[in-house]
Chains A and B, each alone.
Chain A
């Protein structure tokens, strides 16, 4: 239930120095704005810090020899300070949000670009949810840390000025005030330790509420048909109460911290007045000076709070930035060595002594060779793990192979420009993926400028456009997330049309294992026959009828070619294929159906 806290593979440790350098480099395009931010930040802090000092001068003046004109002049200065402090702060904040917004955007852009350009091995290792949270949430946290850092800098400036002035006024009172510092930090830090633990527990409790909700409503139909709502309800009460109890404890703890710090503040105030009274009666300090100290307490309180809460947040922000940079810096494994831009491919594919593995020690191909002639259609058949899909993925350059070579039209695929090369490859994946967009845009996904005629034509070839007309808004129907509005079979037809529109020289088709109703199935079959005509096609076969229609069947087992030939030849031979056919495809034969039907 509580997963995802462990480090991921692309994590790398940066030196703090390098990390800072990297962060600064993101800020450097906004140098001018940053200088303005720092400038206005400093002067607005100065104006804040000087106000209690001026006030104390006024009080001293009132105490000794009231000079009304001078006092009003000082108040006028406070007045001006107040206005300018607000204005400076305003300017500072405008610039700083702009800079932070831009830097966060730049980081997101870089991270996104890097992720999108990774090959598929990256996505095998890193779940999507985590990548998304790195790019979006970590960058946001980083931005918040920068904002907080700016506040801290301003607090530190105010604090320093006040402390310096106070030392010059009276050393004893300053020390009294400063004993609050360690108390303050000790209290804040020790609370944090517990708070962290409780927060984690609280989150877990809420996560179990979440998990329980998911489970309950995923199975709601069963609960309803078996009338077991009461049990679901009772279990929920338990989970919900647990979350209540844990989170209440957490809230109690978190809420105790500020009053506790207030307690320290009250204690220090009392001590200050006690000491101050003695010093005033002894004539060491004036009342005006004592007022400066009293006023400073509340002025110190807030900055201290920020500083005390700063360090862990700063660490969080640094860690967040480190995670994003790690993503940006991970290099893709698929690299092109030249940039040949083919205008048209004939479609001759040759695997030459190929070695390939996804992970170390799990060899998929060892010294594998295969040649596909231009325009030839082949079907790959074999058990799961035989390497069927790997062949397709390697041709598409989704993964990098280790040794040997793959030649397309006589040239190593590494030498082709990746983008141009892929334009000539059409891929129909096992699970059709559609965007939450209209049917039309889904078909046009690879080529935005395609005309309506092109779209209709592609649809027509891929099994007819009649079914599209029956959708609520025809081609303009939004198919929702992943195409959930359409049936599996319909999604496949859309993908066929998408690929046909690209008119690729090489077609790779990973047949769907998901079930499709018999009516759509016949449409898909039609589409397939038309699609493979005139192109080199590689079909990863899971179904009987496709296998029968190709030029050549290749039987794979553990990365080796066991047999090749067409259906009749291989059946006659009675080898692996015949055996496979009998265990895998038999139930799809007419004989089997008739037999099962009659029993």
Chain B
């Protein structure tokens, strides 16, 4: 059989990858495998070996301390004071080495935990960067932030304290047994063995219950917060419609759910049986050793040491009560991270694709678009043609598919059916780099990075101050920038550099002048209030339109008016197409805008058009 090697090693195509991704396979295999892949990645393996070694060593030391205490007491009782000095000296040494060993293991564990957090965050962030725009449009930023910080941090908590404490607990459960076998009558292992078994059984059922309750408590707290935030965001509506009572009841319901989960968790923790079992086992061990003492098989020193060793079991018993809840939380955090990372990204970069300089002819051929995971198409049977240098205005209600349509051109999404041609070639045949280099996009709500205005304009290209000033002038924003405290070096978002929507938009236009794309997509659904700004925006836009193909989403009647082609979109379909005069004749809806807005009689408008 011949294997197609390429297929076997085929990795999902991403838009960005800075290097090798060592966790890629484990991501597909679920949270446990993924976390393990992180744990055993690179030098982490050696950390784990050393950690386990130090933990075992310190559990041994703890047991030995009690043996020596027992021997000291025996020596005291029998009057053999010669060895006392040695005993006390070794106690002293053990008393120091124990904590030091523990410090070493804690540091190693922490390093491992923090490394995992760092690496997982890096992996997650890189993965997000490689996702297509369609992915990012569906994500809320707040949600991404919660994943990058809180969920990744849970992996840290999973290692320290949860996993490390569990390793420690289990060591403390079994090491003491070895010393009992070595130093005392063999039958004394009944008690610790009995405890270990019943502890594991009880713990199993406890950990199954505590996880869900902790999860619920968290969830309830979240919904309590969400409700409250929503109420306060809409407080004006609450007051205006006099619904304070209703909002109080709503909040009360959530707060009560939280209280119930809180009490339930309290009950479960109160019922934690291992503590009782341990107390009984220690009493049984005490009785047992007294009986052996009576039969002459043990001395007092040994009884004391035995009790001390049994006391070591307290640590795993108490700590397990709290540790297991973390597993559940970390598990769901890892699931959430993987869910996002495993989402396919739809865009193929096509690095080997064509790279030519565009003229700017755009053709849509029966384009259909359906969002991944959805069934209803957002765009249906879209066909139109734009000659190089022309301006197309797209109008329609929000949700009619205007923005989606423009995003298909720069392949922020890929079409589901049909095709889009630029200069006669399917856009998927160009390399993504070359395609996007020649298309600029100015969004509706322009985002500026919190760096200097200069950097924001020159973003993506090396430019001189003269060039930047030149484009700023063309974009009608130079005067504004000159009045800022540090002019072009002013940092966006800082005191005094709070930019309005119109100013942001013009900075984006300046940026587009600088990159001088063949094709420009401009989402201009912002509205300006005062006429001066309005004039500036109109002039800036007019300037940028010259000599390039422009797709304009707009609410401004003036811009609709001057476009070479107007597309009226409704529910994802083109319901009317043509220039202003044509549309006034053919589209009733289009006509209505002018009639309503300017109190013109419909007949009169039609008459004027016909002239």
**A135 in contact with B113 (CB, 8 Å):** no
**A225 in contact with B248 (CB, 8 Å):** no
Among B259, B266, B515, point to the contact of A104 (Cβ < 8 A): B259
A403 at the interface (CB under 8 A from B): no
B582 at the interface (CB under 8 A from A): no
Given known contacts A105-B255, A115-B232, A266-B95, A217 and B398 CB-to-CB distance under 8 angstroms: no
A218, B445: Cα distance in complex, Å: 11
Give the contacts of A181-236 with B (CB-CB under 8 A): 206, 209-210, 213-230, 232-233, 236
**B555 in contact with A446 (CB, 8 Å):** no
A564 at the interface (CB under 8 A from B): no
- Which has the most chain A C-beta neighbours within 10 Å: B87, B267, B449? B449
Q: Which of B143-151, B359-367, B475-483 is the contact stretch?
A: B143-151
**B95 in contact with A498 (CB, 8 Å):** no
**A436 in contact with B230 (CB, 8 Å):** yes
Give the contacts of B90-113 with A (CB-CB under 8 A): 91-92, 94-96, 98-100, 102-103, 106-107, 109-111, 113
**B73 in contact with A109 (CB, 8 Å):** no
Q: 19 other contacts beyond A72-B290, A82-B283, with CB at 8 A cut-off? A: A83-B279, A85-B279, A105-B258, A112-B252, A213-B145, A217-B141, A218-B141, A222-B449, A236-B125, A248-B110, A255-B110, A265-B95, A266-B94, A287-B77, A427-B236, A429-B236, A472-B376, A490-B398, A526-B596
**A228 in contact with B529 (CB, 8 Å):** no
**A102 in contact with B447 (CB, 8 Å):** no
Given known contacts A79-B280, A277-B76, A587 and B300 CB-to-CB distance under 8 angstroms: no
A171 at the interface (CB under 8 A from B): no
Among B95, B283, B528, point to the contact of A263 (Cβ < 8 A): B95
Mask, B112-133, CB within 8 Å of A = 1, is 0111011001100110111001
Smallest CB separation, A108 vs chain B (Å): 5
- Residues of A near B251 (CB, < 8 A) are 108-109, 112
B262 at the interface (CB under 8 A from A): yes
Among B15, B149, B225, B267, point to the contact of A209 (Cβ < 8 A): B149
A290, B286: Cα distance in complex, Å: 18
Smallest CB separation, B450 vs chain A (Å): 6
Q: Which 4 A-B pairs rank lowest in CB-CB distance, beginning with the nearest?
A: A266-B95, A97-B266, A487-B398, A597-B561
Closest to A290 in B: B73
A593 at the interface (CB under 8 A from B): yes
Given known contacts A105-B259, A213-B144, A227-B433, A259 and B99 CB-to-CB distance under 8 angstroms: yes
Pull 17 A–B residue pairs with CB atoms less than 8 Å apart, ordered by A. A72-B290, A75-B290, A93-B266, A105-B258, A116-B244, A116-B248, A218-B447, A251-B113, A255-B106, A262-B102, A273-B72, A281-B81, A295-B307, A398-B239, A486-B398, A518-B557, A590-B600
B187 at the interface (CB under 8 A from A): no
A160 at the interface (CB under 8 A from B): no
**B88 in contact with A274 (CB, 8 Å):** yes
- Residues of A near B63 (CB, < 8 A) are none
Smallest CB separation, B31 vs chain A (Å): 22
A102, B256: Cα distance in complex, Å: 9
Among B77, B122, B279, B449, point to the contact of A86 (Cβ < 8 A): B279
Given known contacts A215-B449, A217-B136, A270 and B125 CB-to-CB distance under 8 angstroms: no
- Residues of A near B186 (CB, < 8 A) are none
B46 at the interface (CB under 8 A from A): no
- Residues of B near A75 (CB, < 8 A) are 283, 286-287, 290
Given known contacts A230-B16, A294-B69, A522-B592, A120 and B236 CB-to-CB distance under 8 angstroms: yes
Given known contacts A55-B307, A287-B300, A584 and B255 CB-to-CB distance under 8 angstroms: no
Smallest CB separation, B86 vs chain A (Å): 12
A66 at the interface (CB under 8 A from B): yes
Closest to B300 in A: A62
Give the contacts of A568-599 with B (CB-CB under 8 A): 582-590, 592-594, 596-599
Give the contacts of A523-551 with B (CB-CB under 8 A): 525-526, 542, 545, 548
Mask, B355-387, CB within 8 Å of A = 1, is 000000000000000000000100000000000
B205 at the interface (CB under 8 A from A): no
The number of chain A residues with a CB under 8 A from chain B is 160
- Residues of B near A222 (CB, < 8 A) are 447, 449, 459
Given known contacts A251-B110, A489-B398, A597 and B580 CB-to-CB distance under 8 angstroms: yes
A46 at the interface (CB under 8 A from B): no
Given known contacts A259-B99, A262-B99, A482 and B294 CB-to-CB distance under 8 angstroms: no
- Residues of A near B133 (CB, < 8 A) are 220-221, 224
**A584 in contact with B233 (CB, 8 Å):** no
A221, B237: Cα distance in complex, Å: 34
- Residues of A near B16 (CB, < 8 A) are 229-230, 233
A345 at the interface (CB under 8 A from B): no
B527 at the interface (CB under 8 A from A): yes
Give the contacts of B542-567 with A (CB-CB under 8 A): 542, 555, 557-562
Smallest CB separation, B256 vs chain A (Å): 6
A589, B599: Cα distance in complex, Å: 11
Given known contacts A68-B294, A78-B283, A244 and B118 CB-to-CB distance under 8 angstroms: yes
- Residues of A near B555 (CB, < 8 A) are 515-518, 521
**A229 in contact with B562 (CB, 8 Å):** no
Mask, B176-208, CB within 8 Å of A = 1, is 000000000000000000000000000000000
A15 at the interface (CB under 8 A from B): no
Q: Which of A5-13, A335-343, A417-425, A554-562 is the contact stretch?
A: A417-425
B465 at the interface (CB under 8 A from A): no
A22, B443: Cα distance in complex, Å: 54
- Residues of A near B265 (CB, < 8 A) are 97
Give the contacts of A460-504 with B (CB-CB under 8 A): 467, 470, 472, 481-482, 486-490, 498, 502
Q: Which of B20-28, B268-276, B327-335, B422-430 is the contact stretch?
A: B268-276
Closest to A334 in B: B239
Given known contacts A396-B239, A521-B597, A599-B542, A109 and B232 CB-to-CB distance under 8 angstroms: no
**A446 in contact with B529 (CB, 8 Å):** no
Among B235, B441, B447, B525, point to the contact of A120 (Cβ < 8 A): B235
Mask, B286-305, CB within 8 Å of A = 1, is 11001001100000100110
B598 at the interface (CB under 8 A from A): yes
B531 at the interface (CB under 8 A from A): yes
Smallest CB separation, A185 vs chain B (Å): 18
Given known contacts A85-B279, A251-B160, A467-B397, A101 and B77 CB-to-CB distance under 8 angstroms: no
**B149 in contact with A206 (CB, 8 Å):** yes
**A396 in contact with B412 (CB, 8 Å):** no
B138 at the interface (CB under 8 A from A): no
**B562 in contact with A513 (CB, 8 Å):** no
**B144 in contact with A217 (CB, 8 Å):** yes
A248, B106: Cα distance in complex, Å: 11
Among B256, B412, B596, point to the contact of A522 (Cβ < 8 A): B596
Closest to B121 in A: A240
Give the contacts of A65-93 with B (CB-CB under 8 A): 66, 68, 71-72, 75, 78-79, 82-83, 85-86, 89-90, 93
Among B247, B280, B290, point to the contact of A83 (Cβ < 8 A): B280
Q: Which of B2-10, B33-41, B466-474, B532-540 is the contact stretch?
A: B532-540
**B229 in contact with A132 (CB, 8 Å):** yes
A25 at the interface (CB under 8 A from B): no
Among B76, B113, B235, B256, point to the contact of A116 (Cβ < 8 A): B235
Give the contacts of A43-75 with B (CB-CB under 8 A): 55, 58-59, 62-63, 66, 68, 71-72, 75
A112, B230: Cα distance in complex, Å: 13
Mask, B579-611, CB within 8 Å of A = 1, is 010000000010011101111100000000000
A284 at the interface (CB under 8 A from B): no
B47 at the interface (CB under 8 A from A): no
**A446 in contact with B562 (CB, 8 Å):** no
A390, B62: Cα distance in complex, Å: 73
**B240 in contact with A396 (CB, 8 Å):** yes
- Residues of B near A273 (CB, < 8 A) are 69, 72, 87-88, 91
- Residues of A near B225 (CB, < 8 A) are 132, 136
B462 at the interface (CB under 8 A from A): no
Smallest CB separation, B339 vs chain A (Å): 17
